[in-house]
Amino acid sequence: MKHLKTWACATALAVGVTAGAVAPQPAQAQDTNYVPLLTYRTGPFAGSGIHIANGMNDYLQMLNERDGGIGGVPIAIEECETSYNAQKGVECYEATKGKGALVYNPYSTGITLQLIPKASVDKIPVLSMGYGLSAAAVGDVFPWVFNVPVTYWDGASVVINYIADQEGGLDSLSGKKIGYIFLDAGYGREPIPLLEQLAEKHGFELLQYPVPANQMQNQSSQWLNVRRDRPDYMIMWGWGAMNPTAIKEAVKIRYPMDKFIGVWWSAGEDDAAAGGQDAAGYKALNFSGVGMDFPALQDIKTLVVDAGKTQTDPASIGTTLYNRGVLNSVIIAEGIRTAQELTGKKVITGEDMRVGLEALNLTQERLAEIGLAGFAHPMKVTCEDHAGSHPVFIQEWDGERFVKVTDWIEPMTDVVRPLLEAAAADYAEKNAPWPERTEACAQ
């Protein structure tokens, strides 16, 4: 009898859980624009992912609270936890695409690579803001993928440009050693072809230090190699727990921090703070504003954070990665707004969103109008160029906070663009039959 009761309870529980898991979710209301957010608040990369997720979520929430959405239509926001895992990311995509998803932000190069072939089939664009496949900038080959405002290859070229400036010009790079420490995943390997090309062209030696994902907090070997090789500069493509560990290890081997430059995903305050005062001089690329001295961020604080409508820690508003998440949602929102204007519809589809993103023109005036003057460099997408190769700046850790230390630095577009086009053609060939672009250019 006792066993019977146990079995009955277990069965009831199992049925309940299963029913909950597979029960059809209510379809999105007809008068909303549905934006799923693939985020990660758990797992080894949560330290970076939480800030991004909060920033993305809060800006869209704020638009709902302040303006009733976009064009009078509320935004239906739904987060799906990926743990930065490509398989879970695809599961999230499959679970949400049928609800009228307008756009996907995978926040992982691995997930982005999985979604790229699906985008044109399901007619839902992928927005990989400053990450993902660099070659996706070529709009003729990838009409459904957007990596505005800048690709990894552009970013790598900016770092080389900056180093060249410090050394007295590109010609001075000959004979130098530049180290590249990176997360040994699709993300970290992405800029290597460009760096190798530049090394060959300008005569510097590129030293590579891969960090496997399961060794992110155990980097002493990589940094011992750095100590032995004595590279003149170090470049980092890190994420999650890799960043603070790398900065601590660099401090530990007494690497000159002013010659250590991270990509924009290695630009978190928490990352640099791990090295404390000793990490002063560490630099990172950035393309979004720092601080909360922007009216839109004040609105987020008042209408969303202080009102208790988010999980955001108030102290994190204005930090680099939080603001990056905000910028991501600004692009989503402006894409929706542009699509509404171009199509005349208020409730749009993924196909409309693609048109909106392709016609995105975020001018300085528009940024000021939405309460984010100076928050980002003006950015424009064209049918041919889905990244725009916009400039980025460099910020430096002063021991307590990041301070902007350069003006906007242009990428080496003349070098990068032909390589992007070649890489896009190569991708299409390797993934044949890759669909020809049939989408009209709305510009």
* Shortest distance, position 184 Cβ to other proteins, whole Å: 6
C-alpha separations of 270 from 45, 167, 230, 248, 400 in Å: 13, 30, 27, 12, 10
| DSSP states of 260-313 | EEE-GGG--HHHHHTTGGGGTT-EEEE-S--SS-SHHHHHHIIIIITTT-S---
**The residue to which tokens 């009898």 are assigned:** 1
* Shortest distance, position 51 Cβ to other proteins, whole Å: 9
Residues comprising the chain, all counted: 443
Q: Which is nearer to other proteins, 248 or 417 (CB)?
A: 248
- Give Cα 313 to chain centroid, integer Å: 21
* Shortest distance, position 265 Cβ to other proteins, whole Å: 15
Nearest to 415 by CA among 248, 247, 262, 194: 194
- Maximum distance among all alpha carbons in the chain? 85
Q: Which is nearer to other proteins, 157 or 219 (CB)?
A: 219
Q: Which is nearer to other proteins, 30 or 214 (CB)?
A: 214
Give φ, ψ of 374 to 5 degrees. 75, 5
Q: Which is nearer to other proteins, 224 or 403 (CB)?
A: 224
Q: Which is nearer to other proteins, 118 or 189 (CB)?
A: 189
Classified as helix, coil or strand, 197 is helix
> CA triplet 86, 433, 105: central angle to 5 degrees?
30
* Shortest distance, position 90 Cβ to other proteins, whole Å: 21
* Shortest distance, position 272 Cβ to other proteins, whole Å: 12
Q: Which is nearer to other proteins, 40 or 375 (CB)?
A: 40
Nearest to 150 by CA among 180, 115, 110, 194: 194
* Shortest distance, position 224 Cβ to other proteins, whole Å: 6
Q: Which is nearer to other proteins, 273 or 383 (CB)?
A: 273
For residue 16, the tally of other CB atoms under 10 A from its CB is 10
Q: Which is nearer to other proteins, 46 or 326 (CB)?
A: 46
Burial of 383 (0-12, 13-18, 19+ CB in 10 A): middle
* Shortest distance, position 397 Cβ to other proteins, whole Å: 15
Footprint of other proteins (CB under 8 A): 40-47, 49-50, 184, 208-210, 212-218, 220-222, 224-225, 227-228, 240-241, 244-245, 248, 252-254, 270, 273-274
Whether the link from the prior residue into 149 is cis, omega within 30° of 0, is: yes
* Shortest distance, position 225 Cβ to other proteins, whole Å: 6
